[in-house]
Amino acid sequence: MNHPHPELPYPSALAPKTLRIVALGGLGEIGRNMTVFEYEGKLLIVDCGVLFPEESQPGIDLILPDFSYIRDRLSDVVAVVLTHGHEDHIGAVPFLLKERSDIPIVGSKLTLSFTEAKLKERRISAPKIEVRAGMSQSFGPFELEFVAVNHSIPDALAVAIKTPAGVVLATGDFKMDQLPLDGRITDLVTFARLGEEGVDLFMVDSTNADVPGFTTSESEISPVLDRIIAGTKRRVIVASFASHVHRIQQVIDIAATHKRKVALVGRSMVRNMKLAQDLGYLTVPEGLIIDAKDVGKFGDNVVMICTGSQGEPLAALSRMANGEHEIVVGKGDTVILASSLIPGNENPVYRIINELTRLGAKVVHKGNAMVHVSGHAAAGELLYCYNIVKPKHVMPIHGEWRHLRANAELAIKTGVARNKTLVVENGITIDLADGYADVSGAIPVGFVYVDGQSIGEITEDSLKDRRILGEEGFISVIVVVDSQSGKIVAGPDIHARGFTEDAALFNEVTGMIEKAMAHAVASGINGTHQLQQVVRKTVGSWVGDKHRRKPMIVPVVIEV
């Protein structure tokens, strides 16, 4: 756990008629979105997502928001509002509900359906409250109004949070596609009305704030996908997020046009698309979908839609690239990566592209064809929103530092005072009272790592040890000494892994260890712990000087 700003005090007790806002994730990073609102002793949570690990976090499955701040106050939580069904907004809900399972979960029909599927897997049952765009509903002292926004998943919502302290409008993830596949555009009329009524704090998606202009419409993807699939004589594999209903609808429609069967590959893909179809968000022609096990029966006349567009090691596409999947990618196959690269995933994705290319496949991705458009508003769209809403204060959310800063500069260009743009990190508290918002302090927040069944037990030191083992290797040194005299009676025995296989290499340091231990004993050092430190220091200095390496060194001194 770290403290974002040691110079800022822990926030004082909340004053009457004051709304406190603190992000426990999602600021300075892409993912892990979670914001807590506090008013008159009650807490409202907006989103509760996960962050996927980078290569520098070996062995980690997921990264959660830090619940420490609210752990002792879970009974005060009146609801968790989910803006849409992407993992970075709903993925941590099961982990939160493990700590209190009766928190009401609020969201649109599709969002609740995706969340319910995750809860069922963990045998968690929680009350769910379905809302729609245009509805208003109160939870404790918070009056919420839900607003339709367009995103890369159906049924996304912005939420206006109204209290006597002021009005906050949080966009969630959104863009302003004027020709969306489902015809559901971002409700700028309601944005404008809320602006006329007075928005004291506008919390705005920053993911594409540094991209000029306007995001390309989803409708422009279909002709490109159609051309690629029509021009492929063999099989087509499309990798996408398991929640990107719009993109999968496009692929299904094009496959049907070219009389190709469609197989959904990957547990989460099959589950989510079945839910989307049952709820009416996905239209599938009768007889088009086949079981992934039957792909071989249809020869080349198949389009497979699978998970793994971000290089996730256990996803279907990664296993295909590594030759570990029952579906074998071969010469003449076309693989389409229908997604943007999430920062930090570049290396795994390029590795998969290289492996698939080596197997003879043609790989089409956003870098060489327009097979994906972002679900986030670019700079031109954000400027438009600021001019419509005319907020008193702006707090950029959902993005790395470059995105947050770029978003703040856009707000300033439209007339928001620089001192009223609040670019903050996770853990920094914002207090809003009488329509005025400012930083009030900072709370300790950190990363909570999920490693198999372990949640929160892996620390930064553990990850450092894993990185050292993976990059620098491991050396163990075993020495047996006489308990009375402290003289070496056996060893030093040196064993190495991931460093060198040449045992003769350690002959030089063996003598150095013997001399260092003899000198230590003569100086009055005789405890095993102290002698182990002597061994570690001696081996560490030798490895550093001679080999420019810093392996993990585990000395063991045994007294007999």
CATH label of the domain that carries residue 482: 3.10.20.580
CATH number at residue 249: 3.40.50.10710
Q: Structure pTM?
A: 0.80
| Number of domains forming the structure of the chain | 3
Q: Please indicate, yes or no, whether residues 88 and 168 belong to a single structural domain of this protein.
A: yes
Q: Please indicate, yes or no, whether residues 434 and 336 belong to a single structural domain of this protein.
A: no
Q: Please indicate, yes or no, whether residues 165 and 304 belong to a single structural domain of this protein.
A: no
Can you read off the two tokens belonging to residue 293? 């096990």
Can you read off the two tokens belonging to residue 152? 């890369």
Residue 167: HSE in the Cβ half-sphere, 13 Å Cα cutoff: 17
Contact 373, 218 (CB under 8 A): yes
Q: Is residue 10 one of the residues assigned to a domain? A: no
Q: Please indicate, yes or no, whether residues 177 and 198 belong to a single structural domain of this protein.
A: yes
In sequence order, the 6+-apart residues with CB closer than 8 A to the CB of 197 are 167
Query: What domain range is 197 assigned to?
Result: 19-213+374-455
Beta bridge partners of 431: 20, 438
Among 312, 332, 364, residue at a domain's last position = 364
Q: Is residue 2 one of the residues assigned to a domain? A: no
Dist. CA 133–CA 159, nearest whole Å = 9
Q: Is residue 460 one of the residues assigned to a domain? A: no
Q: Please indicate, yes or no, whether residues 200 and 233 belong to a single structural domain of this protein.
A: no
Q: Is residue 8 one of the residues assigned to a domain? A: no
Can you read off the two tokens belonging to residue 155? 């049924």
Q: Please indicate, yes or no, whether residues 255 and 293 belong to a single structural domain of this protein.
A: yes
Contact 52, 342 (CB under 8 A): yes
Q: Please indicate, yes or no, whether residues 250 and 201 belong to a single structural domain of this protein.
A: no
Q: Please indicate, yes or no, whether residues 185 and 166 belong to a single structural domain of this protein.
A: yes
Dist. CA 426–CA 85, nearest whole Å = 22
Q: Please indicate, yes or no, whether residues 122 and 183 belong to a single structural domain of this protein.
A: yes
Among 341, 364, 387, residue at a domain's last position = 364
Q: Please indicate, yes or no, whether residues 326 and 248 belong to a single structural domain of this protein.
A: yes
Q: Is residue 1 one of the residues assigned to a domain? A: no
Question: pLDDT tens track of the chain, all 560 residues?
Answer: 344 566 789 999 999 999 999 999 999 988 899 999 999 999 999 999 987 765 555 556 678 898 999 999 999 999 999 999 999 999 999 999 999 999 999 999 999 999 999 899 889 999 999 999 999 999 999 999 999 999 989 999 999 999 999 999 999 999 999 988 888 999 999 999 999 999 999 999 999 999 999 998 888 888 989 999 998 888 899 988 888 888 899 999 999 999 999 999 888 899 999 999 999 999 999 989 998 888 888 888 899 998 877 777 678 888 888 888 888 888 888 998 887 766 666 777 888 888 889 888 898 887 777 778 888 999 999 999 999 999 999 999 999 999 999 999 999 999 999 999 999 999 999 999 998 999 999 999 888 776 655 565 566 665 555 555 555 667 778 878 776 666 777 777 777 766 655 566 677 777 787 777 777 777 777 677 777 777 778 877 877 777 666 777 777 777 76
Cis peptide bond N-terminal to 212, omega within 30? no
Among 422, 455, 488, residue at a domain's last position = 455
Q: Is residue 56 one of the residues assigned to a domain? A: yes
Can you read off the two tokens belonging to residue 32? 């892990």
Q: Please indicate, yes or no, whether residues 57 and 164 belong to a single structural domain of this protein.
A: yes
Q: Which residue has the tokens 């603190």?
A: 22
Q: Is residue 6 one of the residues assigned to a domain? A: no
User: If we measure between CA atoms, which residue out of 167, 34, 159 comes closest to residue 434?
Assistant: 167
Helix (H, G, I), strand (E, B) or coil at 5: coil
Dist. CA 170–CA 277, nearest whole Å = 29
Dist. CA 365–CA 372, nearest whole Å = 8
CATH number at residue 404: 3.60.15.10
Q: Is residue 461 one of the residues assigned to a domain? A: no
Q: Please indicate, yes or no, whether residues 486 and 449 belong to a single structural domain of this protein.
A: no
